[in-house]
Amino acid sequence: MLDKADIRKAASDLHDALRSRKPVGPLTERFENLSIEDAYRIQMENVTRRSVEGERIIGKKIGLTSIAMQKMLGVFEPDYGHLFESMLLPQNELDMSTVIQPKAEGELAFVMGRGLKGPGITPFDVLRATDYVVPAIEIIDSRVKDWKIKIQDTIADNASSAYIAVGNRVLPVTDIDLYATGMVFSKNGEVVATGAAAAVMGNPLRAVAWLVNKLSEFDVGVGESEIILSGSLTSAMDIGMRDVIEITFDRLGSVTLKAREGSG
C-alpha cells in the first residue's frame, strides 16, 4: 500500500491536471505497486478536496461494465466514480476548452427513489428502490496522458468521469425492459453504434447492485435522489469540435450533446 504522502501527491497531481487540463503520466508507471485499494484512496482524497471546495455530490458512475473492457484492462469487476453537480451540462453543450481528450458513452441513468446500502443488495432491491430511468450521455475524459491507463489509473482519476448530458423524458423503471432495450448511437447524423441494455453486466440492475455492495466496503451507501450512471452500452466514441452526439433509446427517447468552442 502507498503511504499517505504518496496518496496525497498522486491526488494533487490529478486534481491539478483536472483544473489545468494538462494531463499527467500514468500513476502505475510512477508507483509500480499501486493497488486498486490505493487507487480508491486517491479518488476519495480528491472527492473530499472537491467537496471542501464547494462541489456537491449528486451520484455515482459505474465503469468497465462490459466483459470486453474488463478483459482489455485485465480485471474481473467494474469500477466506480463520483458525480458532482458541476458535471451536469447546461443545455447539453460541451465546452471543448474544459476537457483534454473526451469520449462519449450512451447509458441508462437510474434516479433513486430511496437510499440503499449493502452488503447483500440484489437487482430486485435496486428495482424497488429506483424512482425512474432517463437516457444519458456520459463524457469521459482521462487526466492521464494519451489514455495510457490501467485499472488503477482510471479509478484514481475518478473513473475518468467528466460531464453528463441527460434527456428530458423519464420512465418508471418497471416500464422499461432492462435486458432487451435497444440504443442507437449517432454522431453527426450517422449511426456509428448500436447496443442493448444487456451489454451492461447482462442487466443494468446488476451493475447498480454491484455498486451498492462495493460501496458498503467503505461503509457508504447510495442516497435518495442520487443519479447512478449504470455503464455504457457500446464502446466510447471520440468527441471533436462541433460534433453532435445523439443517443436514442427505445421508449425513452433521445438525448443530444453538442461540442462547441469555448473560453474555458
Express each pLDDT in 146-202 by its tens digit: 999 999 999 999 999 999 999 999 999 999 999 999 999 999 999 999 999 999 999
CA 17 to chain centre: 18
Q: Which of 106, 169, 90 is nearest to 138 (CA)?
A: 106
pLDDT of res. 243? 98
Instruction: Give just the sign of the alpha carbon dihedral 89, 94, 95, 101.
Output: positive
What average pLDDT does the structure give for the chain? 95
Q: Which of 23, 198, 204 is nearest to 102 (CA)?
A: 23
Q: Helix, strand, or coil here: 73?
A: helix
User: Starting from the edge strand earliest in sequence, which strands make up the sheet with 253-260, in order?
Assistant: 93-95, 253-260, 244-249, 182-187, 190-196
Inter-axis angle of helices 36-52 and 4-20, to 10 degrees?
60
Give the residues across from 218 on adjacent strands.
none
What is the Cα–Cα distance from 29 to 230, expressed in whole angstroms? 30
Set of cell numbers at residue 261: 468552442
Summarised one tens digit per residue, pLDDT across range 215-250 is: 999 899 999 999 999 999 998 999 999 999 999 999
C-alpha cell at 121: 443488495
Rounded to an integer, the average pLDDT of 97-123 is 97
The domain locations on the chain are 4-260
Alpha carbon distance 204, 211 (integer Å)? 11
CB atoms closer than 10 angstroms to residue 238: 10
Assigned CATH topology for domain 4-260? Fumarylacetoacetate hydrolase; domain 2 (3.90.850)
Instruction: Enter the C-alpha cell of residue 130.
Output: 429506483
pTM for this predicted structure: 0.95
Q: Say if residues 135 and 227 touch (Cβ distance below 8 Å).
A: no
